Each structure stands twice: as structure tokens, then as C-alpha cells.
């Protein structure tokens, strides 16, 4: 069985490799879309068919609870923004330009994908502040 930390480093390094290959904007778009595509598939493998359609705010609230319970972050709170504390990704990012790391967009896409799985509504998360083990996303 593969070590979770090794897998996490592989994901972060893959995101940076995509950035080196196709550039900053392209990598952000590709990684966001990868999260959007993998989020629903992950949820479906965990819970099967979702029995109801939720309003997007409720879907976002539940997505945050599920991501916390899966260990993606210690805390994900929704106020006027999505506040992620002690996430698994930012500590593994090399360098200091955390805001522009494509893996931050992967995590946004993962949340967006979870919401789309549980709701007819769609949200878009935009990283506003990124520090080691803390991400603040604006959303609509």
C-alpha cells in the first residue's frame, strides 16, 4: 500500500509539472477541471447515487463536512468565504508563491465537483489568500 504523504507529494509535483509544461493559466484551468471531474467520482465511489438534489449552499456545506471527514483539511468553514485550515496541500507546495500553485486550484475544483454532485447549482471558488496550511476562497 502506498504512503499517503508520498501520494500527496506526487499530486503537488504533478500540478507543478503541468505548470511547467503548459504555463500558469493553463495549469490552473487543467487542475481545476481535474478536481471538478474527480470530485463527483470520488463521492459516487464513497456513497453511491446521491438520493436528493440540494440547494447549492447546502451542497457546499455538506461538501466541506465530507472533505474534513476524509482528511483534506482539519477545518473548512463557510462564512462569506470558504475558509480552509490545516489543509493537506499547501504544506507540500515547494517555493513561496502559494497563491499561484495549480494544486490550490485542484482543491477548489474538488469542492466545486462535490457541490455539482449534490446540487443542480454550480459554484466557482477563487483563491484570495493562501498561506501554509490555510486557504481562503471567494465563491459565488
What residue ranges do the domains of the chain occupy? Answer: 4-139
4-139 maps to which CATH number? 3.30.1380.20
Q: Tell me the pLDDT of the chain (140 aa) as tens digits.
A: 678 889 889 999 999 999 999 999 999 999 999 999 999 999 999 888 778 899 999 999 999 999 999 999 999 999 999 999 999 999 999 889 999 999 999 999 999 999 999 999 899 999 999 999 999 999 99
SS3 annotation, the chain: CCCHHHHHHHHHHHHHHHHHHHCHHHHHHHHHHHHHHHHHHHHHHHHCCCCCCECHHHHHHHHHHHHHHHCCEEEEEECCCEEEEEECCHHHCCCCCHHHCHHHHHHHHHHHHHHHHHECCCCCEEEEEEECCEEEEEEC
Give the pLDDT score at 47: 85
Q: Over the stretch 94-128, which tens digit does the pLDDT of each residue have?
A: 889 999 999 999 999 999 999 999 999 899 999 99
Q: What is the pTM of this model?
A: 0.93
Give the pLDDT score at 103: 96
Amino acid at each position: 500500500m502506498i504512503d499517503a504523504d508520498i501520494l500527496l507529494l506526487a499530486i503537488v509535483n504533478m500540478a507543478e509539472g503541468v505548470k511547467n509544461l503548459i504555463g500558469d493559466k493553463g495549469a490552473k484551468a487543467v487542475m481545476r477541471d481535474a478536481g471538478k471531474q474527480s470530485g463527483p467520482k470520488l463521492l459516487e465511489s464513497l456513497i453511491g447515487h446521491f438520493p436528493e438534489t440540494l440547494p447549492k449552499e447546502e451542497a457546499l456545506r455538506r461538501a466541506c463536512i465530507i472533505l474534513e471527514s476524509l482528511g483534506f483539511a482539519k477545518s473548512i468553514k463557510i462564512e462569506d468565504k470558504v475558509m480552509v485550515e490545516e489543509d493537506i496541500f499547501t504544506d507540500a507546495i515547494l517555493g513561496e508563491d502559494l497563491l499561484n500553485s495549480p494544486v490550490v486550484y485542484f482543491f477548489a475544483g474538488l469542492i466545486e465537483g462535490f457541490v455539482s454532485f449534490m446540487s443542480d447549482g454550480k459554484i466557482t471558488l477563487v483563491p484570495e489568500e493562501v498561506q501554509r496550511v490555510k486557504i481562503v476562497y471567494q465563491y459565488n
